[in-house]
Structure 1
Amino acid sequence: MAGKTFRGVDPLSKWMGIEWEAADRVRLTIRPDHINLAGLLSGPVAYALIDYCMGSTLWAQREGDERIATIGISINYVQTAREGDIVCESTLDRRNDRVAVLRSEVRHQDGRVLATAVGSFAIFPKERLGGREGPTPKGPARAD
């Protein structure tokens, strides 16, 4: 995918072990700490993987100094997994100057679809962050 590179290195993605294969494709090896009490992949892990993949897909296609933020993601959990690698791929469905809509699919390494999702993201100029690059460890960025 042509465009800007999304590094995706923040404390959560690093802890989760997310690996970027491309801006629109991320991989995760399921670990014991990704498993819920039922012995299955925890839903929030799949959700986070989708959010990172959608965000990096849109980030790679942004214009100028645009910034993005998740508005909401609707996810359908189709199947689950206990171990192995899972891969999320995202595509930009449509966008205008203020909002983008993306679609994602999470598959297990054996080819099974685990989840599908549709997400919406806000698009705004960097200036709305008050000159900062983005969220800080102290909390989300605000326009004052």
Structure 2
Amino acid sequence: MADDGASGGFAGRLGAHVAAADDGSARIAFEVTADHLNPAGTLHGGVLATLVDTAMGTAVRTATDDDDVPATSQLTVTYLRPGKPGPLSVTARVRTKGEHLTVCEAEVEQDGKAIGHAVATFALLHG
């Protein structure tokens, strides 16, 4: 998969950028702004869930055939500490790839500290 920069769809509208994507891994760069905060003033959990889902889906696409479409069938996000305004990155990698199911893992870092971890299972829809 080529590095095309902007992420598409909902994640792209949030401002997510694919910084790298190759060989079963992907990295997304993101700038947390006031628009991404919850009432407590920290990064909204739904935004973080979108970012990890997008990074892992991108990683899966680099490890599948062009006619295979990954569909998230299970997503577990662990919030380790609150996110805040400023840059963060999400790094995702394929852990296990099967014929019909693929398992990925993602780490979210901000200011050199882990703020989230995620694991997801993707069903591969064959075109």
Structure 1 unaligned blocks of 5 or more? 127-144
Structure 2 counterpart of 1:18: 16
- CA distance in 2: counterparts of 1:82 and 1:64, whole angstroms: 36
CA contact (8 A) 2:94 2:102 kept: yes
TM-score (norm 2): 0.90
Which residue identity does 1:58 align to in structure 2? V
Q: How many residues align?
A: 121
- CA distance in 1: counterparts of 2:67 and 2:38, whole angstroms: 39
CA contact (8 A) 2:3 2:20 kept: no
For residue 75 of structure 1, give the secondary structure of its aligned residue in structure 2.
Answer: strand
Structure 2 unaligned blocks of 5 or more? none
* Higher alpha-carbon Rg: 1
Structure 2 counterpart of 1:136: none
Structure 1 counterpart of 2:31: 29
CA contact (8 A) 1:6 1:56 kept: no
Find out whether 1:114 has 2:111 as its counterpart.
Answer: no
Offset from partner CA, 1:105-142 (integer Å, 9 cap, x none): 0000x11100011100001211xxxxxxxxxxxxxxxx
Structure 2 counterpart of 1:78: 80
For residue 94 of structure 2, give the secondary structure of its aligned residue in structure 1.
Answer: strand
Q: How does 1:24-63 map to 2 (within 5 A)?
A: 24-63=26-65
| Structure 1 ranges of 4+ moved more than 4 A | none
Which residue identity does 1:70 align to in structure 2? T
The one of the two structures with greater contact order (alpha-carbon pairs below 8 A, sep at least 6) is 2
- CA distance in 2: counterparts of 1:53 and 1:64, whole angstroms: 17
* Structure with higher strand content: 2
